[in-house]
Amino acid sequence: MTSLLPCKECISGTIHKGQPLGTDTEKLFGRSVYIAPVPENPKGTIVYIADMFGWTLPNSRLLADAYAKEGFKVIVPDFFPFQPVAPSSIDAFAPLNEKSAPSFLTGLWQKMTTIPSIMWFLYQARASVSTKIIAKFLEDLKSAEPDTPIFTVGFCWGGRYSLIMATDKVKKGTVNAVASLHPSLLSVPADIENTIVPVSVGAGTKDSLISVPVMKKLEDLYSKRGVECEIKLYEDMIHGFAVRDDIEKEDVASAMEDAKKQVLEWFTKHL
């Protein structure tokens, strides 16, 4: 197990500038979803499994739009029972720069309200519940699009479930390949037992939840099980870098772009 609880980087970061261009759909297979602008003749469908800020976080929608520009249909479903961390509290626990830090009282209030919310969320969205919800969505999607390659990408909380979706907990033939960036709350080896599709995982060398030794252990376990895998380490990057880090920093922006390429190249390889 990487950790029983999220780290401070799981619930912090920056809100990226930009306007998502997709649309909210009331229900798709029983879930509210954001759908990025759909390209003409998409080559596959990516299901984006969000971090603890949920499906409405602008960063997630902007990244979904970026994947869509490369020829994929991208869906960001709401897999949560409720949103545990409000985007307005993104700077409460670990502000990435002085300008974004809240006042003492504001920060204290955000922490006092967020921590109980997270604990209740972790119970309501526990693995035995969330795994079934996400797997059913993917299986329903495959039934609706039987000839379309389907992929999952997940970040932090969603990173764990993207890896689980590569196992036999999803009906065989549903998913072509998965990608996971800085997965959190990952139970190793339990969460990756019986992996049946190719897996790509990325994390920073300064990740406080999924360390370099854990990444190497993942690589060893996948290799021993004969699973096609790709493990990438991003120098000096922290947990959450691929979706919520400060994009105005040159090294962060470069790592985020590389992480985006990692996902897209992996999925393109397994069309």
pLDDT digits 0-9 by tens, 68-110: 999 999 999 999 988 777 665 555 444 445 555 555 555 555 5
Handedness of CA 160, 163, 168, 173 (dihedral sign): positive
What is the per-residue pLDDT for 163? 98
Condensed to tens digits (0 to 9), the pLDDT of residues 18-55 reads 999 999 987 899 999 999 999 999 999 999 999 988 99
Q: What is the pLDDT of residue 109?
A: 52
Could you tell me the two tokens for 210? Answer: 């999924």
Task: Give residue 13's pLDDT.
Answer: 76
Q: Identify the segments of the chain with pLDDT beneath 70.
A: 1-11, 86-114, 116
- Cα maximum dimension of the chain: 54
- Pairs from 136-143 (Cβ < 8 Å, separation ≥ 24): 136/29, 137/29, 137/30, 137/31, 137/47, 137/77, 137/79, 138/47, 138/165, 138/170, 138/174, 138/175, 139/170, 139/171, 139/174, 140/29, 141/29, 141/45, 141/47, 141/75, 142/171, 142/173, 142/174, 142/175
Domain ranges of the chain: 8-269
pLDDT of residue 95: 47
- pLDDT in the model for residue 15: 82
Question: Does CATH number 3.40.50.1820 belong to domain 8-269?
Answer: yes
- Supply the pTM of this predicted model: 0.90
User: What pLDDT, on the 0 to 100 scale, is given for residue 124?
Assistant: 87
The whole-number pLDDT of residue 104 equals 53
